[in-house]
Amino acid sequence: MTLATLSQVLQPALKNGTAVAGLVCLGWEDMRAYVAAAEAEDAPVILQAGPSCREHTPLPVLGKMFRHLAESASVPVVAHLDHGYTHEECREALDSGFTSLMYDGSRKPLVQNIDETAAIAELAHAANISCEGEIGFVGYSGGESSAGTDPSEAAQFAKQTGVDAMAISVGNVHLQENKEGGLDEDRIGAIQSATSIPLVIHGGSGVPVDQRKHLAARSSICKFNIGTELRMAFGQALRTAVNADPDRFDRVQILKETHNPVEVAARLVIRALNSPDQE
């Protein structure tokens, strides 16, 4: 079994100048392709169950699916709760076999966010698993705007919560379909100068690939969350499979044809985070 905690994959990444892909899962087809991609690239992978995933599949089922994939994987696999909003939800993920809890209190006042995140970190560490927190709200493409992380608040948050990784807001947005966003590297530099823990970028699909490579190699950013671009790859593969034969109705046969395209897309994501920086 190669089931791992978040710390077990991020600390080596921090030391080695790489980053780990946190890949957003929606079902069996994509999570299986993600593990295959990680094995092909000989790199760890973080399987993430976010809010939309949990609306579709209960946490206890997701925990079993993640752990089943990890049992036969040749690389470390993290079972990660993404954007847990309540203590109860985080507790359910822990009880369901997850090895990493991400508590999102970023919309709340700083002191409340610190207190609530610290409680989740304590819960996680008591069970020998990891905790990620978020300081500075990361918004959504076409929706709520991001609120940039204040470096001094980030230092306070890291110290007082005891989290193993810290998600920051530095120009990134969720659900961005193009790669024209770019990140504020001056703000990233100020944040990493104020704290020593691994940093996380949510909304990584909107970050240009060259910037992902550069920051993975030369900053404390050790985890990029990638969802939208892989969902786009799945959607295109599914449309192609359905349209190839309008009379076909067996969904197992149709869904099988999404595997290779999603694996290829995930391999490109993973490879970029483990590539030498050319600058």
Residue positions annotated with a catalytic role: 82
Q: Which of 99, 90, 93 lies closest to 119 in space, CA to CA?
A: 90
DSSP for 18-29, please give it.
Answer: --EEEEEE-SHH
Pairing of β 165-168 and β 100-103: unpaired
R_g (Cα) of the chain, nearest Å = 18
Q: What is the distance in angstroms between the CA of the first residue and the CA of the last residue of the chain?
A: 37
Cα 84 from Cα 124, distance rounded (Å): 13
Q: Give dist(CA 44, CA 130) in Å, integer.
A: 16
**Residues shown for the chain:** 279
Q: Is 70 exposed, middle or buried (0-12, 13-18, 19+ CB in 10 A)?
A: buried
